[in-house]
Structure 1
Amino acid sequence: MTGYRHMHYTVADGIARIRLDRPDRLNALTSVMADVELPELCRRASADPAVRVVVLTGTGRGFCSGADLGERIDAVTTGADPTRLQQPLGSFVRAVWDIPKPVVAAVNGVAAGGGMSLATAADFRVVAESARFEPAFVRRGLMPDGGLTYTLPALVGRSRALEILMFGTRVDAARAVEIGLADRVVPDDRLDESVTEFAGRLAAGPALALSFTKRAVQRADGGDLAGALEFESWGQRVCLGSRDFAEGRAAFAEHRTPVFEGH
């Protein structure tokens, strides 16, 4: 376990489990969680020779509902300069992507916005039947970030990724497996068991060979995640200053459909 308020970390049988723990907010990411705690735990798992596989999951009904709109969005909006590239907003996914060991996302519930980015940054996604992927960005007047414009097309193809992202299409567990967004779907009450079995098979494999295999496949994917993060960050900061985002945020708070004006 860790002393972090909203993150838990355990290691057993070669498997490190990183669990987001804000169930009352569907594990929405605060700035501390995204910028400090998650990266620290990913580095810890990377450096620990006892860890051969990493499992990322959430507590309760949500895997991760993205950024905490009441805290993180205000923090990144303050003082933003949309005319230049800055520290990528979704750079927390780099911490997951850069783990040189197999990473399994145990998607126990909704993976929305940055939570979907987090899940697609993992190497595998084992999904509970009640879980769903929800790229909510466009409904808030925003573009995707967290590397989702890089990771999602690699999983489902370019045109399908564009449809999901531009329409904000919700993808349930069964459909996620069908289109390649998830690797397998299991009953909710068997998620932990199934993930432990899956991760255990990886942990029993040749760690060095698996690490090199992972990194080789990442390099062969084409493009560059760092470049995608930088471009997304630039576009997102422009979106954050737009009237459409203000309308999207207000509509979210007021439980209504946003009316976007295109500026």
Structure 2
Amino acid sequence: MSESIQLTIDKGVAFIRLNRPEVFNSFNREMALNLQAKLDDCESNDEVRAIVLSGNGKAFCAGQDLKEVTNPDEHPGFRKILEEHYNPIIERIRQIEKPIIGAVNGVAAGAGANIALACDVVVASEAAAFIQAFSKIGLIPDSAGTFFLPRLIGFQKASALAMLGDKIDAVEAERIGMIYKYVPAESFEEEIQKLAFKMAAMPTRAFALTKKALNASLVNDLTAQLALESDLQIQASETHDYNEGVNAFVEKRKPNFTGK
């Protein structure tokens, strides 16, 4: 049986691919735990400076594999699914101190959509679409959908999408600020690689500190956020990459960042 999560590393970029294309990369327990393990591998591997999360086949991820939850012999229970499968995935995506690109190659539905939206930079193929599919089977958005979606697109739009389950194509997703951008389907893989290699060669320690600041901004007031920015900026100013960036600017050359 093929691996449910594929991991390859190239030029400082870890490419993680959901690999259950026959069921549109929907999650079962094995795949969810495997993704967590692969994210942990990327976090601890100093060779990895950026991560790309994508899917094999036509879909990015269709969310939960309903066969697992409709089979009484296999159903782990919703609390276990959320607390052991999806919540740890979202927490890893936000806490890993490396930039994570959500490369949405096709339909992202339910938990699949919200896992994508938790990534640092989301780029979608023009053939992709996003669906908060939960209401169609009487559930609520999980996997931080009720946390990130209102902050990305506003309360009213998020409320409507969560309740109505409208399908949002990649063009509309970019227009409303749900994603960073969409690219033509025929050049999707090339564009993702170009972006990933570019980010891996940038000052990734600063990215980690930026990520920490953005995470905190979701709950901090202005005074607390200003104080955190001061602390993190001091940390950034003490890095090798800051010194390299300044020296390269003064010397009018291309900087050689190392992520340290």
TM band (smaller chain) = 0.7 to 0.9
Q: Give the superposition deviation at 1:17.
A: 0.6
1:218 to 205, 215, 220: 215
Distance change in 2, residues 1:169/1:59 (3 Å): same
Moved over 4 A (4+): none
- Match of residue 30, structure 1, among 14, 21, 28: 28
1:87 and 2:83 are equivalent in the alignment: yes
What is the one-letter code of the residue matched to 2:9? V
Distance 1:207 1:125 in 2: 17
2:124 equivalent to 1:127: yes
Q: How many residues align?
A: 215
Tell me, yes or no, if structure 1 residue 153 matches structure 2 residue 147. Answer: no
Choose 153-162 or 111-120, whichever is displaced more.
153-162
Q: What are the equivalent positions in structure 2 for 1:73-222 lying under 5 Å apart?
A: 74=71, 75-77=75-77, 87=83, 90-91=86-87, 92-222=89-219
Work out the CA distance in 1 between the residues paired with 2:69 and 2:126. 30
8 Å contact from structure 1 (residues 31, 72) kept in 2: no
| Whole-angstrom distance in 2 between the partners of 1:12 and 1:153 | 35
Which structure has greater helix proportion?
A: 2
Selected match of 2:17 from 15, 19, 24: 19
Higher relative contact order (CA 8 A, sep 6+): 1
Q: Aligned partners of 1:140 and 1:151: how far apart in 2?
A: 21
Residue 37 of structure 2, aligned match among 31, 37, 40:
40
Q: In the aligned structure 1, how far is the partner of 2:90 from the partner of 2:24?
A: 18
- SS state at 1:71 partner: helix
Larger radius of gyration: 2
Q: CA deviation at 1:98?
A: 2.1
Deviation at 1:77, TM superposition (A): 2.7
Structure 2: how far apart are the matches of 1:180 and 1:38? 27
8 A contact 1:93–1:118 mirrored in 2: yes
Q: Which amino acid aligns with 1:33?
A: M
Change (3 A) 1:210 1:202: same
> Where in structure 1 are there 5+ consecutive unaligned residues?
224-263
Higher mean C-alpha deviation, range 146-155 or range 88-97? 88-97
Deviation at 1:198, TM superposition (A): 1.2
Letter in 1 for 2:11: D
Quote how far apart the aligned CAs of 1:96 are. 2.0
**What CA distance in whole angstroms lies between the structure 2 residues aligned with 1:209 and 1:61?**
34
Shift of the 222–62 alpha-carbon distance from structure 1 to 2, 3 Å rule, reads same
Instruction: Give percent identity, aligned residues only.
Output: 34
CA contact (8 A) 2:12 2:48 kept: yes
**Correspondence for 2:252:** none
Give the whole-Å Cα distance in 1 for the aligned partners of 2:165 and 2:85: 20
More displaced stretch, 48-57 vs 94-103: 94-103
For normalisation by structure 2, the TM-score amounts to 0.78
RMSD: 1.9
Q: Deviations over 1:19-70 (max 9, x none)?
A: 0011111000111111x20111111111111111100000011000001000
- SS of equivalent residue, structure 1 residue 76: coil
Report if aligned partners of 2:94, 2:215 keep a CA contact under 8 Å in 1.
Answer: no
Which of 50, 61, 82 is the equivalent residue of 1:64?
61
Q: Distance in 1 between matches of 2:84 and 2:42?
A: 23
**Could you tell me the TM-score, scaled by structure 1's length?**
0.77
**Range that drifts further, 143-152 or 196-205:** 196-205
Deviation at 1:210, TM superposition (A): 1.0
